[in-house]
Amino acid sequence: MLVIPAIDLRNGKCVRLVEGKIENETIYSDDPAEMARKWEGLGGQFLHLVDLDGAFAGKPQNDEAVRSIVGAVSIPAELGGGIRDIETIAYYLDMGVSRVILGTVAISNPKLVADAVGKFGAERIVLGIDARDGMVAIHGWDSTVTKTAVELALEMKQLGVERVIYTDIKRDGTLKGPNIESTREIAVETGLKIIASGGIAGPEDIRAVKELESAGVEAVITGKALYDGRLDLEEALRISGGQER
């Protein structure tokens, strides 16, 4: 199981929010590329990048920071936040981003998801499902729609999607632990490859998510716990590979 460090970008800086709220922002670094090098140096095999400004604006806002990160490391990175047309997907994939995350657009324009999977392949297009109380949230988590995470995932599966990043908004950045039951549910009910996100607080949470691997959970994203020193990436990688200290 992969442990994927998160780099959330706002105004070109590496930040973390609590429950997706801008007013609950902590700035961790003015140099996201240096942060990316740090996680690679500690053994990270993949990076999770989010353009927070893009998520709220509906179009990319931190492409230079993304470019600097991709150029600074040799490991692959996925990117989400405000990506809502084929041209932007192509722009980032050409830049060197390994896979693009589509979220809000899956609700507003599902045909784009189908077109993107058809054009670029399922390995390069990931569905991002952010949920609050089981319901899908969109537009930078500002609003929810009357559709459950499982319902959306099944609809997108029919369009060719194979992988989902599932985030419980109420857990994100809170260090309250991941929503294990909801993560298990979406994995079992859809049969898709699931990446768990939101709430990781320490090694015990990596162990808990590792237990879901047989259900189809292939990776876990962690941010705040790494930045606050509550989780050691090298230890997390040992746990995820079944080798603890």
pLDDT digits (tens, 9 = 90+) for 36-52: 999 999 999 999 999 99
pLDDT for 245: 38
Question: What Å distances lie between residue 24 and 170, 174, 197, CA to CA?
Answer: 13, 11, 18
What amino acid occupies position 82? G
Which residues are catalytic, by number?
A: 8, 130
pLDDT at position 243: 46
pLDDT of residue 175: 78
Q: Spell out, as residue ranges, where the chain has pLDDT lower than 70.
A: 19-20, 139-144, 172-174, 242-245
Q: Which amino acid, residue 184?
A: R
pLDDT at res. 171? 74
Full set of structural domains in the chain with CATH = 2-239 (3.20.20.70)
- pLDDT tens digits along 175-203: 788 999 999 999 999 999 999 998 999 99
Residue 35 to residue 178: CA distance in whole angstroms: 24
pTM over 0.85: yes
- Which helix or strand (DSSP H or E) is residue 138 part of? strand 135-138
Residue 244 dihedral angles phi and psi, to the nearest 5°: -90, 160
